[in-house]
Amino acid sequence: MAPCVRSACNAGKKLYNALLSAMLKKWFIPLGAVAALVLGCASGPQVQDDQPRSRKAKEASGGRWASGEVRGDDSGMAMEMSMGVLDERVVDRALKPHERAMANCFSRAGDARKYLSGQVVMRFLISGTGQVTDVQVIRNGLGSYPVESCLIAEGKQVRFPAPEGRRGTDFEYSMSFRSTGERDVLPWSGEQLGRHLYGISSDLANCGNIGWGDVDVIAYIEPGGAIGSVGFASEGSLDAGFAVCAVALLRTIHVSEAASANSSIVLRTIFPLAMAFERPAVEMPPRKQLTKRVRRRH
């Protein structure tokens, strides 16, 4: 009986190999997929994470002092709140011709390049036809509105193909900038800025419509107390006219209490723009000690 069993096994193996070969020729199943199917049968059930796995695209070097990168998920550029899909490689190809111009936006910082460093994260809003409807600076570690406005203007020039599904989508693109290193930067809480900001609140209100969304201000206080560079970050659209007006007003502030004794130190502070419209607490003057006057009798 043993020879008959071996013969049946050999016949079974030949039939399996023939069927597998026919399947591969007919449906072109990749070898990796076959391996996955085999492994799947051998292992227990797996739970797939609903959150997309984040990965970085290849860094796009735009110049000596700047570099950029696209952030997406493994399956494409679809974000959580988006309906359309843009493949990450498509986004890279569309942005590549603009990398140099976006890196050159750093020249708009002028002398502030001696101490300005940080990352600017932009959100690109894309319509169903591939047109850029808006570019927003949602996170800002740099703090230079001339640079930020240049990045926004250049970003709006990019043309993308229509997203899959012909529906709008969005993605994030970040640019990292490096200073020349001529001046050191230290963080400063800026709690004492309240009274200075409230002093320009009425003029700030006349700058027009802010836009929508909360706005954070990134400001650098240079030696001597003058504000040298100002930038903004907002989850919404920031009105350009208001931003230019606000920068001009903020740079008129002189923060004497933040003046550094070391001429190479620049102080960096971040605060909500709404702080300018809050009346600062009035400090009560110290009580005078009551003294008795004693007349001397002659």
Reported as a single tens digit per residue, the pLDDT across 260-296 is 656 679 999 999 999 998 887 655 455 554 444 545 5
pLDDT at position 280: 76
**Which amino acid belongs to residue 112?**
A
Instruction: Give the residue among 220, 187, 191 at the shortest CA–CA distance from 113.
Output: 220
Residues of the chain with pLDDT under 70: 1-82, 260-263, 281-298
Output the pLDDT for position 59: 42
pLDDT value at residue 279: 84
Q: What is the pLDDT of residue 153?
A: 97
On the 0-12 / 13-18 / 19+ scale of CB atoms within 10 A, 296 is: exposed
CATH architecture of the domain formed by 183-281: 2-Layer Sandwich (3.30)
Give the model's pLDDT for residue 297.
53
> In angstroms, how far is CA 157 from the centroid of its own chain?
19
DSSP H or E segment with residue 11: helix 2-27
Give the relative orientation of helices 240-250 and 145-155 as an angle to the nearest 10 degrees.
170
Give domain limits for the chain.
53-182, 183-281
Contacts of 29 (CB under 8 A, 6+ apart): 23
